[in-house]
Amino acid sequence: MIDVGALKSLRAIADLGTMARAAEELGFTPSAVSQQIKRLESQVGVRLVAPAGRRVVLTPAGQALVATAPAVLNALEESVAAARSVDAGAPRGVVRIAAFSTGVRGIVAPALKRVRREFPDVRVEVVELDPVPAVYAVESGNADLAMVHDADGVTVAVPHGLQRAHLHTDVGDLALPVGHALAEIGRPIRRSDLRDCHWVTSPTGTVCHRWFERLFAGADQQPDVVHSVDDFGTQMALVAADRVVALIPRLARPRVPDGVVVRELHYAPRREVHTVWRSSGEADPALRAVLSALDSRVG
């Protein structure tokens, strides 16, 4: 029998190109990954990797072995899920979630209260990852469940062997200082109403700043950005103190401080949030319990 952990390491090397990057992805040291590969080569009886400058490449034998890895790992996971599914007891085990920051704050963290209350034998471990790395973490077996979004308007690709389900639609609202003229409007605020506003936004290049840019796509006049701040709590403080306005995703919204009001936008930017998991693991009662808790949090 071959070492399943070493097979995962070989697959990570194939995807990432270096032992160092594979080790970082898997949470090991490069030395540990190197030892795993040597052990795997001893078990298989052929050389699986070869040096190529600062990188390593898989030999033809290594490539052939990696090509079988998804089927092997999925079969093992299906076996475990099948065994757990016929157990008459409560769901148990570890479910590893990879999710973007505001999804952790707005959906995962509240859902953990139900998991703790109703499924005490289920341990949930959370790591913050952007959508594309989160999907890769699930595909590679380093996470059991991903929460992803399409904030740029492009749906995240989900490889064969993974399942996707819609979870939530997140919407952007306008944070305004109390007394601002727009705070008194009794209807959703239109883009044309924002012409004279001064803004605090997330830094250029971030997902949330690109979401902000979508609000003004095709507009004749570009917004006047005064402050560039990543933390939404700090953005709220600047709205209260400096009479700027901010676009705040509902999932990311912190406690609204004194001196700030939140109003709906007409044709507000929005992003669709999905959960992603391996088909081979969906019979696992622990995974189903966590998915149910996430659904109830946003349902």
pLDDT of 213: 87
Q: How many CA atoms, within 13 angstroms, populate the side-chain half-sphere of residue 196?
A: 3
pLDDT of 266 over the 80 cut: yes
Q: What is residue 152's predicted lDDT score, i.e. its pLDDT?
A: 62
What's the rounded Cα separation, in Å, for the pair 4 and 18?
Answer: 19
200: exposed, middle or buried (Cβ count in 10 Å: 0-12, 13-18, 19+): buried
Q: How far apart are CA 291 and CA 286, in angstroms?
A: 9
- Number of Cβ within 10 Å of residue 158's Cβ equals 17
Give the helix ranges, DSSP H, for the chain.
Answer: 4-16, 19-26, 30-44, 60-85, 101-103, 109-118, 131-139, 207-215, 232-242, 285-298
Instruction: For residue 144, give the DSSP letter.
Output: S
- Grade residue 258 by pLDDT with cuts at 50, 70 and 90: very high
Structure pTM?
0.73
Of all residues in the chain, what percent carry a pLDDT higher than 90?
A: 44
Report the pLDDT averaged over residues 77-106.
Answer: 81
Per the prediction, the chain carries an average pLDDT of: 87
pLDDT reading at 42 higher than 60: yes
Instruction: Tell me which of 80 and 268 has the higher pLDDT.
Output: 268
Residues 171-201 have pLDDT tens digits of 999 999 999 999 888 899 998 899 889 999 9
Torsion over CA: 87, 293, 100, 159 (sign) = positive
More confident position, 13 or 244 = 244
User: Confidence band (pLDDT; 50, 70, 90) for 100?
Assistant: very high
Ordered by where they begin, the domains of the chain are: 4-84 (1.10.10.10), 92-168+272-298 (3.40.190.10), 170-269 (3.40.190.10)
- Mean pLDDT throughout 266-289? 90
Sign of torsion over alpha carbons 240, 246, 248, 252? negative
- Arithmetic mean of pLDDT, 6-31: 80
Give residue-wise pLDDT tens across range 218-237. Answer: 777 789 999 999 999 999 99
SS3 content of the chain, % helix, strand, coil (to 5): 45, 25, 30
Place of tokens 């703790």: 116
User: Is the pLDDT reported for residue 276 higher than 90?
Assistant: yes
On whether the CB atoms of residues 175 and 235 are closer than 8 A, the answer is yes
Residue 86, pLDDT score: 64
